[in-house]
Structure 1
Amino acid sequence: MGGRIEMKSRQRIAMLASACSLALSAPSFAQQTAQSSSDSTTDGEEIIVTATLREASVQDIPVAVTAVSPVALERQGVADVKLLSTITPSFAVQSSQSETGGVGIRIRGVGTTGNNPGLETSVGIFIDGVYQSRPTVAFGELVDIERVEVLRGPQGTLFGRNTSAGAISIVTKKPSLTEFRGFANATYGNYDLFNLQGGVSGPIAENVGFGIAGSWRKRDGVIKSATGATSNDKDRWLLRGQLYFEPSDALSIRILGDYSKIDEKCCDGIILQETGLATQARAAINGLPNTGVTFSGPSALNNLRSNSFQFRNGADQWGISGELNYDFGGAKLTYIGGYRDFESFQTSETGLTSFRMFTQGLGGQAQTPGQPKMGDRIKTLTQELRLQGGALDGKLDWLLGAYYSDEDLSSVQTATLGPDFQRALAAFGIPSPFGAPPALPPNPAFVFTAFGNGGIPVTAAGANAANLFTQSGKSYSIFTHNVFNLTDKLSVTVGARYVDERKEGGFSQLQGSNAACAAAVRAVLTNALPNPALAPLALGNCFPIATPVNLSGPGGIGRASSFLPLVREYSAVFKDDALTYTAQLAYKPNADMLLYGSFSHGFKSGGINLDATAGGLLNSTAVLTTGAAPQFADPRIRSEKVDAYELGLKATFGRINANVALFHMDMTDYQVLEFDGVRFTTFNVPSVKSTGLEVEVFGKLADHFSMNLAGTFLNTRAPNDCAVGAPAAQLATISVFCGNKLNLSPSFSSVAGLTYDGPMGGSGWGLVANVNLQYSDSYRTSQRPVDTNGLPIATDIQENFVKVNARLGFTTPNERFTFEVWGLNLTNEITKRLTGNVPGRGVAGDRARAAFPEEPRTYGITVRTRF
């Protein structure tokens, strides 16, 4: 086995080296039209980036960055941030049941799962310099974009907050001060896709320009459920307006405002591995409909068939930002400020069945009247002030700055048990789908007939809870970043940032009622069950809802908590400060080559675990057996830190650019969010490492021909001693990760693209043809590497795949219109980035597993016009 792996690695290296050699030999037949080294995007266009908060070519800065022009975004079908992985292989996105509340971003295999609003991202996203506090806030349409920069590795010295793995900088186009210009795009595709984009800008007075742009996307769902309904559709729109003032050569002011809305049936999971509940006999014995167990296994994934319904998520958000620049002559002052109000909602049938088991959010099968809306509300204010200039006759390029962030977050999580919930629990209790059922009547109140109020049966149907989580936080920082040009060829960069983080928040219950849970707890604690072996089954009525008011009855909260994760209201205060810093050495032997080495110490803020079980009881056995005083968990999450080392080479050969980066990252207190099928648990892994090699080759092969090739070799893992220093209560949980790779981190991934953009013979028409390939080795799709028995989970591996995107366009002789046909994922590879246990669909070792699939094959036509 080891020999085959080694051979595969050598083959990958050989293929990448061969492709690089072919690309680098291209100047031999293109010397006559060679361009300068400023060609620095994936499609060979000239572009200037601000990755160091200074304008420079990609080839001239000692930072690993991929710059993507708007032309490249269009040609490769990158409609939103999620699709950037088709251009840069070191970038990955995963999402679960909601794209407005459960999205995680990774760079170089490092990132944070997004289901817990208390956790901030390891990859910061900035739009026009303004920090977006959560990935879901920034996942709108990429329309009227100037460029996108993907910065790899810690960026905390220059970029405001939480960039321990990297940063994404999205820059929109400024309005024109000299001429009116505009664009409009119309697209129709399969799944009844409609997409409209448009914008116009121009002068409205002397030295004053305006711009307005918008987009609308609507598409049918790609997953078909047992009920015939579809999910994973698209229904979103965005509107952005801006004003740009340039009253003098020294002063410029830009003001932007935007509003966007999402309302989609998303995101459905597909059952990969079923439990005994899937057997028709088991379901039927307990009066459950057979439609609840129709689709599962690899065929369900490949055919995009699910059992769920009522998955829905949406968001309304608006924001305003401003940027002021003033040039004093010897120094330049920059102010960037922004305010954003984001509000989301989610609804899901959490058992991934068409049984009416339990629903989260509004509009579900078992919705409680008057229950509050489930979702997040995030209000964020950011302010940044920078002063930069030169000194020592150009030997020093200095920068000083200060940053402030104020965030107010509230999250409401709701759940309601449905009329099929207890029947489903009864199905779990039957030992064999083919054997005779035990003496247990198929009654929705099965174990509670004798234990209700005065012998009245107690049902779980309608049990509900609405939990409120809050967190307010402030961040203050000052920073400096300075480039010392020791000679014309050698420079040293040193930078540092001091950051102070303060947060407070907690959990309280808005409303809750679960009489069945209270009856079950009383029956178990008083040994009143006719069959004690049914205790776990009876206490299933406390899942997923247990309310403090119901658990404060006979037996006491402490005793009840020994049977289930206790819901306990809590509040907490988090404070931390850190000094992040970077040092870089850059050597430029000639105009076409840069060698550099760097070290960075990064920081990602901790906070409060916003989950109902975060403050749960730690010593339940002692409380139950000896009457010991209860000890509760600390709901706070420690900050994440990283030390990153990088060696890089950037070279230009005629019109071809070749960049190589070798990196290693040592992470301390890596933040992990894990779903165990019952609840989300959050903890810090003391040690995680990421080591890899990135290669990028891009530019023009000849007139009208451009190419891009990128590959990433990656080893992101928790070392064998990853649990050293872990708290005793978390040691067993964390130790499972030790000696394993992290999820969503393939050993090798790559992208390759070829574009022709030129005349179509002598017709006067233009031709644009693009093909782009994306390859990935296999990777794990679950956070946890093994099951409860310590064995690998077969369903949680995404096998290696190749996806192909292509586009063919024809431009009229006057270049006014372009007509395109396109296809994404033409090989129709149905891939998954996230799998996990299914709540309410299995017990003990008999667990179901579900996957959240990525997009299938899509295709369509687009008409573009420019004016």
Structure 2
Amino acid sequence: MAALGWGVVATPAIAQDEPRSAGQARVSDIIVVTATRRAQDVQEVPIAVTAVGPEQLEAQAIDDVTDLGSVAASFNFSRAQAASNGIVLRIRGIGTTSNNIGFESAVGVFIDGAYQSRPGVALSELVDVERVEVLRGPQGTLFGRNSSAGALNIVNRRPDLSEYGGFVDASYGNFDQYSLQAAVNMPIVEDQLALRVTGAIRERDGFIGVLDAAGNQFDTTNDVDRYLVRGQLGFATDGGIEGRIIVDFSQDNTSCCGAIELLRSPIESGGLFGLVGLGPRGGMASPIVADSPVDQSSARDAQDNRLVTLSRAPVADIENSGITGEIEVPLNSNVDLVYVASYREYEANESFDSDFSALDAFNVLSNTTSIETMTHELRLQGVGFGGRFDWLVGAYYSNEDILSSPILGLGEDYGELVGATLFGPTGGAFGPNPLTVLSGGFDPATTRTSNLFGQSGESFSIFTHNVISVTDSLDLTVGLRYSDESKDGFFAQSSSNNPVCASLAARVAAGAIPPTLAGPVIGLGCFPLTAPADLPQSAFLPLPQSFDASFEDDELIYTVKLGYQLDNVNLYASFTHGFKSGGINLDATAGVQASNPTFDSELVDAFEVGLKARFLGGRVTSNLAIFHQDFTNFQILEFTGTQFSSFNVPQAISSGVELETVVQVADGFSINTSIAYTDARYPDDCAAATDALAVQNLCGFSLTNAPDLVAILGASYETALTDSFDLFLNAQIRSVSDSRTSTQGRAVPTAAAQLGQTPLSPFDVQDGVTTINVRAGIEQSAGGWGVELWSTNLTDESARGVTFNTALRGGSRSAFMAQEPRMYGVTLRTTF
């Protein structure tokens, strides 16, 4: 069982906007959400939704969307090497593996009504937020694009048109962590025009040490270094028109992320690195590493040490800016017109060591990515027939342009690294650098390749979402959305000075290299990410080919819900057909041997029944949801150790039960629980015998990062110390069961006859982990200032999120961490 979180869990969320005395019961507080594009009490919405207000965001120390697992048991995330596109968000075990800019998330992220096209674009500070809604299950009828797993709806605090005010929060903690968050609200024309300015800065040293080949630590990674500024201009007229214009800018220079070696390479165990002059460990220096796939103890110790070996720490420079406008115009007493538009620019430049060792072998020297996104949404909504018909119709359009230019280089040690790999099969017949010998004298050292990927996409949809009150207690909801998606993408190569691959390809074609060596020599001498594209031999050898590709698809998305309301009880049942667009694999290997670089759209049919209740005079709030989701053409991006391979799995399922409860035990004392049991897996018959082995290989296994059980138990206590000051105590335990951390299913995916007989890849399964989080402080009863002490992951547990085959190391396994170590510190707050 695993964990992550702080203080009070707000599941179902309970909001509080006004100061209150310590110990005052919260029996009547509600939180209003817009999960159906209408303002409703969260307990009355026929959707499984966890809504979190600003008080809970502070108590849980939720700094960005990756922290939301501390309040929503069905939500989790994983992170790989790239800071820009390595984030994967999951709801109910469903998410789309990342690290490829051509893939979009199955969890749609919307900030102030505007769609964020990639999770990395939304990875900025959650500061001055009114609420966050975690919508579970497909949401495509109302929430724009690509929400086949669910959606995050983030609403920032609006300008107050009548009152001046603001806040300042300052924190300091271990790892030299400091943060400053502040906002000021300034009415310009009372009740008509106001400005709200928000800012945040957060810095923290890395918690993973970076070692050189001698085992000396020279740097850290997995740090935090980012800031955000946001300005909002809110307005309202006497005629009822209201809206706001939001401008924001953020910068992120976080170093992400270090991969810890778990399983020693058999090349190292066989002493082959030393034979080619790379030292006995071939550029690795971690003091503890497992020697066999069954040595779980050493792998756990390596994970707990939080040390990696690199030639240099990752570097990132990310800028994210945009403008969003929204306006609501009442056409009459029953009909409103709402328009939301946004334009965003995202620029990232990253560099990192991709051989995951202290060798100078393979490096991403620079990876520049730009994303420009424009969205428009127009909604007309109102009520009729005496309030019994709540209707909504709308249209949505988005346009996105992506350009990515990675420059990849082979270093001084690449030839010898390949030599160690080939030493066994060749008996060392070609010396320590066989690529130079076999290519006729060309050395791969210092060669580099500049690739260029681009994609332009358009999405258009029209939609309607209507609630019909059949009786005073029974509501029928019908939603429809027709969505049309089109994308045009390409891969081209602006330069490559790698003569080794061209020579090897020509010599293999001419029969000058033994057939038994042809495959390994081409695979290593024409390393997919650095090989020249469009060589003459690419027609029959697995060499990169440039491509121009197009993808088009359309789908009718729909939902039908029945809701039955009694006093303080809401029962509902729903069916939803969801859709996530396919696209183009923007990878140098996607067009190998003229293969099709596109992947199909993902479809889902979801069934859900739920119960939401308040009882015992409002002191107990409890929400139950039972769900089953069938996915067709489930999208997969798999890293094999040398390339990213994209494909669709014909079937995947996610079924389970979720229970969220808040109990007001006594005035000032509450207990909350959130439990999610999820069976997210590929069925035993998920693919046909004619499907690719990589697809068949997943059948029968759980989905990646999809634990069966997540349980959260939290408690909050508040009491008056004096007439002016209150004491508050929060504690939380969060447990997560075992989960898989690798996309690859089996350890030996080499022959169809082995299917059903081979185990999971080494160290695929992360053992269950439980963490504890605490917070305590004092604050002025009527608002003003407060001070608090806090700690997350109090027992300093470790957990990995992504495990993969280490590039070019012949069976070695490495992992990226999902769990931060124990953090602790102090926070000062003041409001005015």
Instruction: Give the structure-1-normalised TM-score.
Output: 0.87
Summarize the alignment of residues 717-866 of structure 1 with structure 2, pairs less than 5 Å apart. Answer: 717-724=681-688, 728=690, 730-760=691-721, 762=722, 764-789=724-749, 790-812=758-780, 815-842=783-810, 846-866=811-831
Deviations 1:351-372 (A, max 9, x none): 110000110133xxxxxxxxxx
Which structure has the higher relative contact order (CA within 8 Å, separation 6+)?
Answer: 2
- Tell me by how many angstroms 1:488 deviates: 1.2
Q: Once the two structures are superposed, what CA deviation does each residue of 1:788-821 show, in whole Å capped at 9, x if it has no partner?
A: 2532123111101101111111114664211111
Q: Is 1:672 aligned to 2:636, yes or no?
A: yes
CA–CA distance in 2 between the matches of 1:634 and 1:544? 16
Match of 1:214 in 2: 199
2:512 is equivalent to residue 528 of structure 1: yes
Shift in Å, 1:672: 0.7
Tell me how far 1:706 sits from its aligned partner. Answer: 2.6
SS of corresponding position for 1:793: coil
Q: Report matched runs for 1:25-104 at 5 Å.
A: 39=29, 46-104=30-88
| 2:142 equivalent to 1:158 | yes
Deviation at 1:699, TM superposition (A): 4.7
How far residue 524 of structure 1 moved from its aligned partner, in angstroms, is 3.1
Task: Provide, for residues 337-382 of structure 1, a one-character-per-residue CA deviation record: whole Å limited to 9, x for no partner.
Answer: 10000111221211110000110133xxxxxxxxxxx132111100
Q: Which residue number in structure 2 is paired with residue 714 of structure 1?
A: 678
User: Secondary structure of the residue that 2:230 maps to in structure 1?
Assistant: strand
Indicate which of 599, 618, 638 corresponds to 1:637.
Answer: 599
Say yes or no: does 1:181 pair with 2:165.
yes
Match of 2:251 among 250, 253, 261: 261
Q: What is the distance in 2 between the residues matched to 1:281 and 1:226? A: 21
**Corresponding residue to 1:582 among 547, 556, 559:** 559
Partner of residue 587 from structure 2, selected from 611, 617, 627:
611
Q: Output the CA distance in 2 between the equivalents of 1:461 and 1:419.
A: 5
Q: Which amino acid aligns with 2:308?
A: S
Q: 1:596 aligns with which of 539, 563, 572?
A: 572
Q: Is the 8 A contact 2:97 2:636 kept in 1?
A: yes
Report the residue type matching 2:277 in the other structure. Answer: G
SS in 1 for 2:595: coil
* Of 436, 451, 459, the match for 1:448: 436
Aligned to 1:118: 102
Distance change >3 Å, CA 335–CA 291, structure 1 → 2: same
* Residue 386 of structure 1, aligned match among 379, 382, 397: 379
Does the Cα contact within 8 Å between 1:50 and 1:56 map onto a contact in 2?
yes
How big is the shift at 1:291? 7.4
Distance in 2, Cα, partners of 1:502 & 1:470: 14
CA distance in 2, matches of 1:571, 1:663: 41
Root-mean-square deviation over aligned CA pairs? 2.2
Distance in 1 (CA, whole Å) between partners of 2:812 and 2:156 is 47
> Structure 1's 787 and 121: CA in aligned 2 closer, same or farther, altered over 3 A?
same
1:853 and 1:400 mapped to 2: Cα distance? 41
Which of the residues 223, 231, 237 maps onto 1:233?
Answer: 223
Amino acid at match of 2:686: C
TM-aligned CA deviation for residue 312 of structure 1: 2.1
> Deviation of residue 850 (structure 1)?
3.3
CA distance in 1, matches of 2:239, 2:166: 26
Alignment of 1:484-523 (within 5 A): 484-523=468-507
2:592 partner SS: coil
In structure 2, the partner of 1:417 is: 410
* Counterpart amino acid of residue 649 in structure 1: L
Corresponding residue to 1:470 among 451, 454, 479: 454
Partners of 1:174 and 1:748 in 2: CA distance: 37
2:408 touches 2:530 (CA, 8 Å); kept in 1? no
Counterpart-to-counterpart distance in 2, 1:692 and 1:814: 43
After superposition, what is the alpha-carbon deviation per residue over 1:394-443, rounded to whole angstroms, capped at 9, x for unaligned?
111111111111111112222100000111111223339xxx9744544x
- In structure 2, give the amino acid aligned to 1:558: A
Distance 1:210 1:345, change over 3 A: same
Residues 686-742 of structure 1: CA deviation (Å, up to 9, x unaligned)? 111111000000253222223321101111111122113x8x5x4222111112211
CA contact (8 A) 1:131 1:160 kept: yes
Task: Give the drift of 1:199.
Answer: 0.8
The alignment partner of 2:253 has SS state of strand
| 1:79 Cα deviation after fit | 0.9
Q: Kindly provide the CA deviation profile for residues 462-490 of structure 1, in whole angstroms up to 9, marking residues without a partner as x.
A: 22211111111111111111111111111
Q: CA deviation at 1:537?
A: 4.5
Tell me, in whole angstroms, the C-alpha distance in 2 between the residues paired with 1:854 and 1:302.
Answer: 11
Tell whether 2:274 aligns with 1:278.
no
Which residue is equivalent to 2:8? none
CA deviation profile, 1:473-526 (whole Å, cap 9, x unmatched)? 111111111111111111111110111111111111111121122232233333
Unaligned runs of 5+ in 2: 2-10, 12-22, 291-298, 750-757
Residue 287 and residue 704 in structure 1: after superposition, are their counterparts in 2 closer, same or farther (change >3 A)? Answer: same
Name the CA distance, whole Å, in 1 between partners of 2:592 and 2:116.
31
Amino acid at match of 1:608: I
Q: What TM-score comes out, normalization by structure 2 length?
A: 0.91
> How far, CA to CA, are the matches of 2:484 and 2:417 in structure 1?
50
**Aligned-residue offset at 1:548:** 4.1
Shift of residue 531, structure 1, vs aligned partner: 10
SS in 2 for 1:209: strand
Cα distance change on mapping 1:396 and 1:225 into 2, 3 Å: same
Partner Cα distance (1:392, 1:813) in 2: 47
What is the CA–CA distance in structure 1 between the aligned matches of 2:149 and 2:781, rounded to whole Å?
Answer: 46
| C-alpha contact (below 8 Å) 1:97/1:852 kept by paired residues | no
Contact 1:546–1:566 (CA<8 Å) still a contact in 2? no
1:166-177 matches, cutoff 5 A: 166-177=150-161
Indicate which of 528, 532, 539 corresponds to 1:558.
Answer: 539
The answer to whether the 8 Å contact 2:196/2:231 transfers is yes
Residues 814-833 of structure 1, C-alpha deviations (whole Å, 9 max, x = no match):
64211111111112111011
Instruction: Determine if the alignment matches structure 1 residue 686 to structure 2 residue 677.
Output: no
Are the equivalent residues in 1 in contact too, given 2:529–2:589 (CA < 8 A)? no
Structure 1 residues without counterparts, runs of 5 or longer:
1-7, 9-19, 21-31, 40-45, 363-373, 618-631
Task: Verify the 8 A CA contact 1:233 1:265 in the aligned structure 2.
Answer: yes
Whole-Å Cα distance in 2 between the matches of residues 660 and 192 of structure 1? 42
Give the secondary structure class of the aligned counterpart of 2:376: strand
Give the one of 316, 322, 327 matched to 1:324: 327
Contact 1:272 1:851 in 2 (8 A): no
Distance in 2 between residues matched to 1:661 and 1:532, nearest whole Å? 57
SS in 1 for 2:424: coil
- Hey, what does 1:293 align to over in structure 2? 284
Q: Deviations over 1:618-661 (max 9, x none)?
A: xxxxxxxxxxxxxx221111111111000101111122110000
Structure that is richer in helix per residue: 1
Q: Matched residues in 2 for 1:572 and 1:524: separation?
A: 29
Aligned to 1:251: 241
Among 307, 310, 327, the residue aligned to 2:309: 307
d(CA) in 1 for partners of 2:431 and 2:460? 62
- The structural deviation recorded for 1:116 is 1.4
Name the CA distance, whole Å, in 2 between partners of 1:468 and 1:477: 30
Structure 2 match to 1:27: none
Judge conservation of contact 1:356–1:420 (CA < 8 Å) in 2. yes
Amino acid at match of 1:577: D
Q: How many residues in Structure 1 have an aligned counterpart in Structure 2?
A: 782
Q: Which secondary structure does the structure 2 equivalent of 1:292 belong to? A: coil
* Paired residue secondary structure (1:794): coil
How far, CA to CA, are the matches of 2:576 and 2:782 in structure 1?
50
CA contact (8 A) 1:278 1:293 kept: no
Partner of 1:696: 660
2:302 alignment partner AA: A
